[in-house]
């Protein structure tokens, strides 16, 4: 496991442009960190490694061809569980939402990230505010 997961999105994009590393390499570092820490932190509700790996490969092809969709192309991101994400359950922190879906839509923010080529790696849970029941 390297240190690529600690870089900012700006540094990751610069590294892609300079050919220092690939979206797949950054994603693998991020997934390794998630695997290491997730059992202790319980910070992710869903990790889509296969889907993210496909997205990273597509970003690698675009970047290699000089056709990056945006500065975010290939950068791994986490999506908050309150945002609809096509193909992934959006439970909004509730046990009353049917995880079976259907999950056919993206929230506008998620749609813009997809259009920019960001790699949708995982979902983060909704947390209760401190001091609230």
Cβ atoms < 10 Å from Cβ of 38: 13
The three-state secondary structure class of 102 is coil
What are the φ/ψ torsions at residue 88 (nearest 5 degrees)?
-130, 140
Q: What is the predicted pLDDT for the residue at 126?
A: 66
**Rounded (5°) CA angle 57-32-12:** 55
Express each pLDDT in 59-115 by its tens digit: 999 999 999 999 999 999 999 989 999 998 888 877 788 888 889 999 999 999 999
| Separation of alpha carbons 105 and 84, rounded Å | 6
Q: Please give the Cα distance from 4 to 68 (Å, whole number).
A: 20
Summary mean pLDDT of the chain: 90
pTM for the full predicted model: 0.87
């Amino acid at each position: 496991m390297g240190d690529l997961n600690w870089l900012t999105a700006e540094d990751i994009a610069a590294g892609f442009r300079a050919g220092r590393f690939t979206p797949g390499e950054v994603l693998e570092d991020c997934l390794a960190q998630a695997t290491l820490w997730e059992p202790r932190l319980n910070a992710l509700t869903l990790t889509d490694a296969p889907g993210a790996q496909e997205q990273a490969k597509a970003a690698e092809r675009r970047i290699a061809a000089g056709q990056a969709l945006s500065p975010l192309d290939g950068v791994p991101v986490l999506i908050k569980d309150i945002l609809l994400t096509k193909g992934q359950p959006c439970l909004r922190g509730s046990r009353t939402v049917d995880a079976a879906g259907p999950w056919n839509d993206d929230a506008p923010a998620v749609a813009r990230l997809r259009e920019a080529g960001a790699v949708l790696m995982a979902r983060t849970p909704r947390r209760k505010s401190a001091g609230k029941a």
